[in-house]
Amino acid sequence: MSLAPFTLRGHNPDVLTCIANLSNDEVFTPPEMANAMLDLLAKAWSDANDGANLWASPDVTFLDPFTKSGVFLREITRRLTDGLALAIPDLAERVDHILTRQVYGIGITQLTALLARRSVYCSKYANGPHSVATSFTTEDGNIWFERTEHTWVGGKREFRADPLTGDEITIYTHRRCRYCGASEDDYGRGSELETHAYAFIHTDDINARIAELFGDTMQFDVIIGNPPYQLSDGGYGTSAAPIYQMFVEKALGLDPRFAVFVTPSRWFAGGKGLDDYRKKMLADHRMHHIVDYPKLYEAFPGVKIRGGVSYFLWDRDYDGPCTIQTMWDGQPVGEAVARYLDTYDVLVRRNEAVPILEKVRARREVTLDTRVSSGKPFGLRTFFHGNESPRGISNPVQLFGSRKVTWIDRSDIPLNDAWIDQWKVLMTAVQGTSAAVETKFLSKPIIAGPGTACTETYLVAGRFGTEEEAARYAMYMRTRFVRFLVSLRKSTQHATRDVYAFVPDVPLDRDWTDSLLYERYGLTDDEIAFVESQVAAHDDTLFDEGGDDGDE
């Protein structure tokens, strides 16, 4: 019997390192990362089972409920093939046992289901003549896929004329799927296109769905994989909403012994619609390990996932702190540290940052999120622009907008009229570029005097009665110290009010510098070095005159 599915990966290159990703939504997992996750799983299994070898057990069952390339199933099969050599000496019998009784998958599209079967069974047909499994009676084997449709709800009711009869008919537009939130405008497709209505999350009862697919008695010991990340939400431009959290929640609802997933790391501190998910995950003391890749492109070369990615191991029978390890350029950074994730309302991803944050918070000072405005501080959208000069405007106000300053009449400003007459410090609401490593985290502040306003390009970070106070506050906002504390909550390019929630609102009785701030909070030389390794100094230009000061 040929060992093709197990020796194929030994060739240079491994075919699964060469295929292109379908999109940023559905990212193929590199074999190296899949094996690192399996190594972590094997160690956790051994620790929980008196040193037992996971790969030597003929009874452990594995599910990848969102299989794409089949890399997890392939690598599990390879490891079991080696580990079960003594328990099942005959190679053909051993491989057939593994593939028919231990390894299961759910394809996310027709294409990926075929690819996964080819990776695992050496045939797109599990029962075909070239399949290395000999007992399957169906083409799918244990890698299931069937087209699933979205369930559209809500929307706007409209009355239109039937194009054939002319009769008035009622239709609903702009509906969304009740399960995944997909927009019908984007995903209401014909049969020739994938629906991206993933069966695993389009159900009210995940246990019933699994029983439907694999039998009533199926209980998986290990669930592992890399779920789809997002779907277009029908918003402006390329707006999309995350969906990976839905897959994770459904998987944990199956009560496996262990679960290991790789997802974007945005949930640590941000992400659209992820507040409830983050709260639950941080409070779940069954989270045993997190391995974090904050550097853009590192985990998935060529795929831009802002905020990086991470994988975690969830252990049903564990109750304790979570061990966190940061990876950088393929190597561990610093010591892995076990800590409770719910110490703060966000996950502080770097272990070295925690003692610094603890020193800052020990003073129990009010933080800047109480001072910084919400988005759209004057009620004006980003694309709103005034006149090039104040000529002809009866009550002109200087308007800071997207990359330029214009003039509008005071009566055209819908919100916060009293702020116009105050000294203000403005910060861009979006900060960051496509650089692999962000080092600035905030733009340089703009001091805007009385008679000024801004569009939602900026937040009003502070309002003051005098220019001196505004200048001191702007100087404080430029420090590495402030931007470091912001970085602990800023997982994407958006610099909304909540990213300032760790920054103390210091008294403006002096010109604050990093040296004075390090001394005020008692930072050690090593802690200062860490802050300055993470945050680059701004250039010598005192303040921005508008626009983005991103990392290049």
Tens of pLDDT, residue by residue over 73-106, are: 999 999 999 999 999 999 999 999 999 999 999 9
Same domain? 214 vs 82: yes
- Last residue within a domain, chosen from 321, 348, 375: 348
pLDDT band (50, 70, 90) for residue 546: very low
pLDDT band (50, 70, 90) for residue 404: confident
| Nearest-angstrom CA–CA distance, 486 and 419 | 25
pLDDT for 119 beyond 60: yes
Tens of pLDDT, residue by residue over 318-336, are: 999 999 999 999 999 989 9
Note the pLDDT of residue 166.
72
Note the pLDDT of residue 466.
97
Q: Is residue 300 in a domain?
A: yes
Q: Is residue 544 in a domain?
A: no
Q: Is residue 391 in a domain?
A: yes
Note the pLDDT of residue 434.
57
Same domain? 178 vs 213: no
Average pLDDT over residues 157-180: 80
Note the pLDDT of residue 8.
40
Q: Is residue 541 in a domain?
A: no
Tens of pLDDT, residue by residue over 13-30, are: 454 554 544 554 568 899
Average pLDDT over residues 67-72: 94
Same domain? 416 vs 330: no
The count of domains in the chain is 3
| Nearest-angstrom CA–CA distance, 4 and 6 | 5
- Last residue within a domain, chosen from 324, 348, 372: 348
Same domain? 263 vs 364: no
- Cβ of 249: how many Cβ atoms within 10 Å? 15
Same domain? 192 vs 202: no
Note the pLDDT of residue 337.
97
Task: Render the burial of 407-426: b for 16+ CB within 10 Å, e for the rest.
Answer: bbeeebbeeeeebbebbbbb
Note the pLDDT of residue 239.
66
Q: Is residue 540 in a domain?
A: no
Same domain? 84 vs 218: yes
11: domain CATH number is 3.40.50.150
Same domain? 101 vs 159: no
User: Which has more confidence, 230 or 525?
Assistant: 525
Same domain? 409 vs 515: yes
Average pLDDT over residues 350-367: 97
| Nearest-angstrom CA–CA distance, 245 and 268 | 12
pLDDT band (50, 70, 90) for residue 4: very low
Contacts of 66 (CB under 8 A, 6+ apart): 106, 108, 198, 200, 225, 226, 227, 228, 247
Spatial CA neighbour of 518 closest among 334, 359, 368, 350: 359
Contacts of 524 (CB under 8 A, 6+ apart): none
Same domain? 326 vs 228: yes
Q: Which domain holds residue 114?
A: 4-148+198-348
Note the pLDDT of residue 348.
96
CA Rg, the chain, in Å?
27
Q: Is residue 354 in a domain?
A: no
As beta bridge partners, residue 398 has 407, 452
Same domain? 405 vs 526: yes
Tens of pLDDT, residue by residue over 205-233, are: 999 999 999 988 899 999 999 999 998 76
Same domain? 90 vs 185: no
Note the pLDDT of residue 235.
54
Same domain? 91 vs 229: yes
- Last residue within a domain, chosen from 325, 348, 371: 348
pLDDT for 11 beyond 50: no
Place of tokens 């116009």: 420
| Nearest-angstrom CA–CA distance, 53 and 4 | 25
pLDDT band (50, 70, 90) for residue 190: confident
Q: Is residue 552 in a domain?
A: no
Average pLDDT over residues 404-408: 93
Tens of pLDDT, residue by residue over 241-289, are: 899 999 999 999 999 999 999 999 999 998 888 999 999 999 999 999 9
Q: Is residue 543 in a domain?
A: no
